[in-house]
C-alpha cells in the first residue's frame, strides 16, 4: 500500500463572530416559562446574598411590566457590564457553595424569553449603575453594544432600589401577553393566570430558603409574602422519614432520604391539594433533586419505577452540590437533570426497597378491609388471575334480614345481592381512582341503616363468645363503623343497656 506523506496542516483564520440580531433572538427560545424565568433571576439574587426579594407585576397598565428587586450586595458598573454579557461565566469554573448560577446566561436568556427590553439598576457602596438590553436596537444595529444609562432615577422601577441591591425590570412583555395585544381585559386575565402558576412554582422551588434553612428569605409578590410549599410535608407529625443515606463520590456527597407523605385523612383538604399540586399526587410522586437547597426536579422516577396509585405517597429527596452540574447535566434553566450512572445504580436499590415497602403497606391496609374476622360487606376473591369483589352473603346484616324472609324469597334476595356485585362499575371506578383516589368515598349511611348493622353484628359477635365489655372495641375495628363511630357507639350503648335490663 502506498504511503501518504504527511505535510504540515495549512490553516487560515477568519472572523466568525455570531450575528447579534440572530443570536440574541435565539436566546429567547431556550424553553423558559414565566415560572422558570423568574426562578432563574431569583437565583442571582440569592447568590448575591439577598434575604429580601420583592416581585412587582403590573398587568393592568397599558404597557405591562415586571420588576424584581433585592437587597443583595449590588454591583459596580464593571460588574454590571459583565453580568449583562451573554455567557459571562464558564460552566467549568469552580464556584462557591451558595452560587446557584452555572452558565452566566440565566439573567439574559430568562429575561429575553419574556420581554424585549431588559433593564438592570444596581447600587453598591452608594454608587448607582444602570444598563439595558433593547432587542429592537440590537436587531436594527446588529451589534453587541450594551446601553449604559447615566440618569437611572428616570428609569421605571428605580424607586424599588434599596441602599444596596439590584432591580431587574422587564418591559415589552410580548411573550407574556398570550397574543391578546389588542384586548386589554383578556391580556390582563392571561397574565394573572400565568403569575398564579409562577407563584406556586416559586413557593415550591425555593421552599427551603423560605423556611429559613438558610438565612430566612422573604419573597413577596405584589406586597404579599409567599409561604413555602414543602413537597415532603416534613414538619407534619404523620410524615414518615427514613434516615439519610450518603453516597460519597469524587465530585462530592449525594444525600438521599426517603419520605412517606401522610395519608390524605391525616391532613386537611387544602394541605393535601397544595402538596399534590395541580397534577395531583400520582404525578408528583418520585424523586426531588435539590442543588444547593434549590429544587431542580420535582417528581417523577427518571425510569427507576412506575407511577402507581400504591406509590403515590413516596417521595425521595436527593441533595447534590453545584460541583456535580456536569455529571447531572443540569440545563440552562436549572429545570432538568439526568442521573449519573453511579448514582442511578445506588438509587435503583433505594427505590426498589422503598417502593416495595409502600406497596406492602397499602396492600395490608386494603386486606384489613376484607378480613374475614371483621365481617366485611365485600369479599375479595382471586379467580383465574383476576380479582373479583362479591357481596358477602354471610354478613350479619344480610343474614339477619334473610332470616326474616319467607323461604320462597331468600334465593331472590341473595340473587339481588349477587347482581349488585356483578354490576360494579369497574371501569368508572378505575378512572376515578387513578390519581384522585382520595376524592372517591363511600356514600353516607343514615341512622336506621347503621342501627340495623350494629344490632346484627352485635348479635353475631355475642353468639361467637364476645363479651359485652369487648363489643365496643371489637366493632370499632370495623372501618365502616369506625368512620361513623359517633352514631354507631350511641346505638351500641342503647343496645347493651337493653340487654342489661
Q: What is the pLDDT of residues 462-478, one digit of tens each?
A: 877 778 887 787 777 77
d(CA 422, CA 58): 59
In a 10 Å sphere around its CB, with 0-12 CB exposed, 13-18 middle and 19+ buried, how is residue 196 labelled? Answer: exposed
DSSP output for 122-188 = EEETTEEEEEEEEHHHHHHH-S---EE-S-GGGSTTGGG--SSEEEEEEE--TTTTTT-SS-HHHHH
**Weakest-pLDDT range from 99-108, 260-269, 271-280:** 99-108
Residue 169 corresponds to which cell in the numbers above?
425590570
Q: What is the pLDDT of residue 458?
A: 82
Residue 416 corresponds to which cell in the numbers above?
339481588
Q: What is the pLDDT of residue 368?
A: 43
What confidence category does residue 90 fall into, taking pLDDT thresholds of 50, 70 and 90? very low
Q: What is the pLDDT of residues 411-421, one digit of tens each?
A: 888 888 888 88
Residue, of 181 and 88, whose pLDDT is higher: 181
Residue, of 217 and 378, whose pLDDT is higher: 217
CATH code for the part of the protein at 20-225: 3.30.565.10
Report the candidate in 83, 81, 114 with the shortest Cα–Cα distance to residue 101.
Answer: 83
d(CA 290, CA 206): 10
At the second CATH level, the architecture of 240-367 is 2-Layer Sandwich (3.30)
Q: What is the pLDDT of residue 33?
A: 92
pTM of the prediction? 0.73
Alpha carbon distances (Å) from 28 to 135, 148, 160: 10, 22, 26
The torsion angles phi and psi of 109, rounded to 5 degrees, stand at -65, -40
Q: Which residue has the cell 353516607?
A: 444
Q: What is the pLDDT of residue 215?
A: 67
Give Cβ neighbours of residue 395 (< 8 Å, ≥ 6 apart).
Answer: 375, 376, 377
d(CA 324, CA 291): 9
Q: Is the pLDDT of residue 93 over 70?
A: no
**Weakest-pLDDT range from 90-104, 148-162, 176-190, 430-444:** 90-104
Mean pLDDT of the chain: 84
Q: What is the pLDDT of residue 194?
A: 95
Q: Is the pLDDT of residue 102 over 50?
A: no
Q: What is the pLDDT of residues 24-50, one digit of tens each?
A: 888 788 889 999 999 999 999 999 999
- Ordered by start, the domain boundaries in the chain are 20-225, 240-367, 374-500
Amino acid at each position: 500500500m502506498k504511503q501518504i506523506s504527511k505535510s504540515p496542516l495549512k490553516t487560515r483564520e477568519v472572523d466568525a463572530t455570531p450575528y447579534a440580531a440572530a443570536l440574541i433572538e435565539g436566546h429567547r427560545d431556550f424553553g423558559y416559562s414565566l415560572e422558570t424565568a423568574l426562578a432563574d433571576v431569583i437565583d442571582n439574587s440569592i447568590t448575591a446574598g439577598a434575604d429580601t426579594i420583592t416581585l412587582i407585576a403590573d398587568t393592568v397598565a397599558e404597557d405591562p411590566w415586571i420588576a424584581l428587586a433585592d437587597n443583595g450586595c449590588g454591583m459596580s458598573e464593571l460588574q454590571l457590564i459583565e453580568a449583562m454579557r451573554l455567557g459571562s461565566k464558564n460552566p467549568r469554573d469552580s464556584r462557591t457553595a451558595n452560587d446557584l448560577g452555572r452558565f452566566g446566561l440565566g439573567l439574559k436568556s430568562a429575561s429575553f424569553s419574556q420581554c424585549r427590553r431588559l433593564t438592570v439598576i444596581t447600587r453598591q457602596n452608594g454608587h448607582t449603575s444602570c444598563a439595558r438590553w433593547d432587542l429592537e436596537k440590537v436587531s436594527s444595529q446588529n451589534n453587541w453594544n450594551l446601553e449604559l444609562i447615566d440618569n437611572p432615577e428616570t428609569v421605571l422601577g428605580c424607586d424599588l432600589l434599596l441602599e444596596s441591591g439590584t432591580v431587574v425590570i422587564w418591559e415589552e412583555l410580548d411573550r407574556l401577553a398570550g397574543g391578546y395585544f389588542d384586548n386589554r381585559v383578556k391580556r390582563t386575565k392571561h397574565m394573572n393566570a400565568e403569575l398564579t402558576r409562577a407563584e406556586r412554582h416559586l413557593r415550591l422551588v425555593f421552599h427551603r430558603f423560605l423556611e429559613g434553612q438558610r438565612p430566612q428569605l422573604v419573597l413577596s409578590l405584589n406586597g404579599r409574602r409567599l409561604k413555602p410549599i414543602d413537597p415532603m410535608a416534613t414538619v407534619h407529625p404523620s410524615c414518615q422519614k427514613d434516615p439519610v443515606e450518603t453516597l460519597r463520590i469524587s465530585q462530592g456527597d449525594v444525600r438521599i432520604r426517603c419520605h412517606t407523605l401522610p395519608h390524605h385523612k391525616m391532613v386537611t383538604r387544602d394541605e393535601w391539594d397544595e402538596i399534590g399540586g395541580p397534577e395531583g399526587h400520582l404525578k408528583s410522586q418520585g424523586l426531588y433533586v435539590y442543588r444547593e437547597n434549590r429544587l431542580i426536579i420535582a417528581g417523577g422516577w427518571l425510569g427507576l419505577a412506575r407511577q402507581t396509585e400504591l406509590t403515590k405517597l413516596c417521595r425521595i429527596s436527593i441533595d447534590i452540590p453545584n460541583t456535580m452540574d456536569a455529571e447531572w447535566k443540569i440545563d440552562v434553566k436549572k429545570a432538568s437533570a439526568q442521573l449519573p450512572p453511579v448514582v442511578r445504580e445506588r438509587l435503583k436499590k433505594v427505590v426498589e426497597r422503598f417502593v416495595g415497602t409502600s406497596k406492602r403497606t397499602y396492600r395490608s391496609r386494603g386486606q384489613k378491609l376484607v378480613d374475614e374476622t371483621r365481617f366485611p360487606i365485600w369479599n375479595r376473591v382471586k379467580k383465574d388471575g383476576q380479582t373479583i369483589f362479591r357481596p358477602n352473603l354471610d354478613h350479619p346484616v344480610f343474614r339477619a334480614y334473610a332470616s326474616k324472609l319467607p323461604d320462597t324469597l331468600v334465593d331472590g334476595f341473595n340473587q339481588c345481592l349477587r347482581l349488585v356485585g356483578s354490576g360494579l362499575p369497574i371501569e368508572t371506578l378505575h378512572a376515578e381512582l387513578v390519581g384522585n383516589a382520595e376524592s372517591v368515598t363511600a356514600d353516607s349511611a343514615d341512622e336506621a341503616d347503621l342501627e340495623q348493622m350494629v344490632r346484627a353484628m352485635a348479635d353475631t359477635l355475642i353468639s361467637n363468645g364476645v363479651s359485652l365489655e369487648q363489643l365496643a372495641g371489637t366493632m370499632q375495628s370495623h372501618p365502616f363503623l369506625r368512620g361513623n363511630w359517633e352514631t354507631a357507639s350511641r346505638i351500641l350503648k342503647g343496645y347493651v343497656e337493653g340487654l342489661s335490663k
